[in-house]
Amino acid sequence: MTTTPKYLFERDEAEDERLRAQSGLLNAMTTELLDHIGLGPGWRVLDLGTGAGDVAYLAADRVGPTGSVSGIDRDPATAERAQADARRRGYANVEFRTGDAQTLEGIDGDFDAVVGRLIYMYVADPVEALRQAYARVRPGGLVCLQEADLTNTWAHPMTPLWQQAYDWLQETMRLAGVNPRMGYDLFATFRAAGLPDPEIGISWRLRGASELPEYTWADIVCGTLPLMEKFGVATREEVQPETLGERLKADLREHDGIMTIGPFPHAWTRKPF
């Protein structure tokens, strides 16, 4: 029996805020991908593991008022908060509901596109999950996934502090059963699921010490702190989350270093007519 990987973060309002901050770094790359695959007016889109809804909103902006986006998340409270947020933002073409990206049980088919970002790293059986997603796409429709390689070097140089933060997260992901290199497994996953060979690509960004973003790898590390402590990987006293971000930034400024954002491999394919 396959064990479902554990989500690395708490499912609460603070996590919604972390996801929105993270989207400030990722949305440009996801936007490029959605535009590349031709997401357009009138499309009906399913967003897998929607979380705070950021990818759903990107899709909604492209499908317009004649289209619709359904975002699903397996945590009911998260889906409920996302729906309230959509109402506040005035997105009448977006709905959020409870749903499991692994099984898609209860999710009707005939979507023009199924999309997902950083989702399959958390599913127990990506091949079967992809089969289920593909089954819910109409002939001529698309499946498009964007995942990550979280094992890549986070910065240059990797100072002792950067290396320590990196090691904490790698061990936490290992114990949680998360696939930190799911992005590189996408091509094989599409083929194993019986889909047409996907078009694949990769996106990432680099930021120099003088232009480091507000949201950094420290926010990811600190977000996983409850799980780190549960697994015995690190304590709050060791991580010092209140200052970790500034300490990491100071290291890079001292060395005129750079921070990586990504890489984020993607894969997409079209269902034959």
- CATH code: domain of residue 72: 3.40.50.150
To which H or E segment does residue 205 belong? strand 199-208
Q: How far is CA 175 from CA 4, 8, 168, 180, 227, in A?
A: 12, 10, 11, 12, 10
Phi, psi (rounded to 5 degrees) for 141: -85, 175
Q: Give domain status of residue 124, yes or no.
A: yes
Question: CA triplet 213, 261, 51: central angle to 5 degrees?
Answer: 90
Sign of CA dihedral 69, 71, 77, 78: negative
Could you give the CA distance from residue 178 to residue 272 in angstroms, rounded to a whole number? Answer: 32
Q: Give domain status of residue 34, yes or no.
A: yes
Could you give the CA distance from residue 119 to residue 115 in angstroms, rounded to a whole number? Answer: 10
- Position 31 scores a pLDDT of 98
- Position 109 scores a pLDDT of 80
Nearest to 120 by CA among 7, 238, 26: 7
Q: Give domain status of residue 4, yes or no.
A: no
Residue range(s) defining the domain that contains residue 63? 13-270
Tokens 């409850």 correspond to 226
Question: CA triplet 41, 34, 144: central angle to 5 degrees?
Answer: 110
- Position 2 scores a pLDDT of 56
The pTM (predicted TM-score) of the whole model is 0.95
Q: Give domain status of residue 7, yes or no.
A: no
Q: Is 37 helix (H, G, I), strand (E, B) or coil?
A: helix
Q: How far is CA 155 from CA 6, 150, 160, 212, in A?
A: 26, 12, 11, 11
DSSP state of 67: S
Q: Give domain status of residue 208, yes or no.
A: yes
Q: Give domain status of residue 3, yes or no.
A: no
Beta-strand relationship, 258-270 and 137-146:
antiparallel
Give the pLDDT of the chain (273 residues) as one tens digit per residue. 457 899 999 999 999 999 999 999 999 999 999 999 999 999 999 999 999 999 999 999 999 999 999 999 999 999 999 999 999 999 999 999 999 999 999 998 899 999 999 999 999 999 999 999 999 999 999 999 999 999 999 999 999 999 999 999 999 999 999 999 999 999 999 999 999 999 999 999 999 999 999 999 999 999 999 999 999 999 999 999 999 999 999 999 999 999 999 999 999 999 999
Q: Give domain status of residue 2, yes or no.
A: no
Task: Judge contact between 128 and 195, C-beta under 8 A.
Answer: no
Tell the burial category of 273 from Cβ atoms under 10 Å away from its Cβ (0-12, 13-18, 19+).
Answer: exposed
Q: Give domain status of residue 52, yes or no.
A: yes
Task: Judge contact between 264 and 204, C-beta under 8 A.
Answer: yes
Could you give the CA distance from residue 184 to residue 201 in angstroms, rounded to a whole number? Answer: 10
Residue type, 186: L
Beta-strand relationship, 111-117 and 137-146:
parallel
- Position 186 scores a pLDDT of 98
User: What number of other Cβ atoms are within 10 A of residue 78's Cβ?
Assistant: 24
Domain count within the chain = 1
